[in-house]
Structure 1
Amino acid sequence: MLNRRSALFALVATALLTSGCTTFGAKKEPAYSGPTKTIKGYLRGSPFARLTPSQVVYITAYDATNGNSKPMPVIGETSFTLGRSGYFPIAYEIEIPASKSAPKVALSVQLGLPGQILFSNDRLYSQTTGRTMDIPMREAPPRIRNFRHGL
């Protein structure tokens, strides 16, 4: 027979375990709390590509002031679930720190299901110095499999 203390402990442990479970989808709010700048625009792709409500858009912003010569520091990232069936274009927006230290911003965009990329930037990165940018998207190339150990 369970006493009151062990029943309460079991209830608290169950609540803590279920609250720690996460799902793939939109990320939490950014840790940066200073003044921000918003970059928005549209993701443009094939007009025949069918999008589903469960697909997720992942956007990462990099400081591209020094170009690709060095690893670019991440200055912001966001993700959101489409939540609708349809076709391109997809409206997006991302907030980044509004500082003079990052006058050129590069965006890397991926669209797909968790663990599977269906569409990505047309180029490696799309760069802007302004507040709006339309990004061309294309289907991700198929993954090359390693057949060393058979099929």
Structure 2
Amino acid sequence: MFNRRSALFALTAAALLTSGCTSIGAKHQPAYSGPTKTIKGYLRGSSFAQLTPSLVVYITAYDATNGNSKPMPVIGETSFTLGRSGYFPIAYEIEIPAAKSAPKVALSVQIGTPGRILFSNDRQYSQTTGNNMDIPMREAPPRLRNFRNGL
């Protein structure tokens, strides 16, 4: 019953699933090799939202010095697997260049599985000028389904 084609399909599916859960930072060399600054804090969400160990947290840091009137350059990004069941808050930290050229930093946070976002920032970007920042999270809106063929 278990033929070659299904075995190959199972191996390919397992490889795709495990490759999606790795951190972005491990795949790319850092673009900046000077002194760094660490921003850390907690992701705060609904106390009723249940989190699973397989969820992945994606954090991207942008230089928000000029506001969001122009495209903001990415100055850092990281991702990690939650690794625990439970509820909010979730501790995080991200390293960014410590240069004075980026006094205002905007963070974009998403929590989910590869291909599906479950939680995101409460605002489009959360901005800081310091080293600590707690970020409010909200559930992503439900996906609209196509009911042309019935329920």
Could you state the TM-score of these two structures normalised by the residue count of structure 1? 0.80
Among all aligned residue pairs of Structure 1 and Structure 2, give the percentage whose two residues are the same amino acid: 82
Counterpart amino acid of 1:28?
Answer: G
Mapped pair 1:28 → 2:25? yes
**Quick one: which amino acid aligns to residue 95 of structure 1?**
E
> Using the alignment, how far apart are the partners of 1:143 and 1:125 within structure 2?
22
Once superposed, what is the RMSD of the aligned Cα atoms? 1.8
CA deviation profile, 1:73-107 (whole Å, cap 9, x unmatched): 00000000000101000000000011111000000
| 1:90 aligned partner, one-letter code | I
Unaligned runs of 5+ in 2: 1-14
Matching of residue 129 in structure 1 with residue 129 in structure 2: yes
CA distance in 1, matches of 2:48, 2:68: 33
Match for residue 65 of structure 1? 65
Structure 1 stretches of 4+ moved >4 Å: none
Q: Residue 48 of structure 1 aligns to which amino acid in structure 2?
A: F
Count of equivalent residues:
130
> What SS class does the counterpart of residue 19 from structure 2 fall into?
coil
CA distance in 2, matches of 1:63, 1:145: 36
**C-alpha separation between the residues in 2 aligned to 1:109 and 1:139?**
12
| Change in CA separation of 1:139 and 1:103 when aligned onto 2, cut-off 3 Å | same
Per-residue deviation, residues 13-71 of structure 1 (Å, max 9, x unmatched): xxxxxxx9761222234512211000000000001100000000000000000111001
Question: Under a length normalisation based on structure 2, what TM-score does the superposition of the two structures give?
Answer: 0.80
Flag the structure with larger Rg.
Answer: 1
Gaps of 5+ in 1: 1-19
Whole-Å separation in 2 of the counterparts to 1:145 and 1:71: 32
Report the counterpart of residue 9 of structure 1 in structure 2. Answer: none
Secondary structure, in 3 states, of the residue corresponding to 1:67?
coil
Please tell me the residue identity of whatever aligns with 1:124. Q
Residue aligning to 1:55: 55
Q: CA deviation at 1:145?
A: 4.7
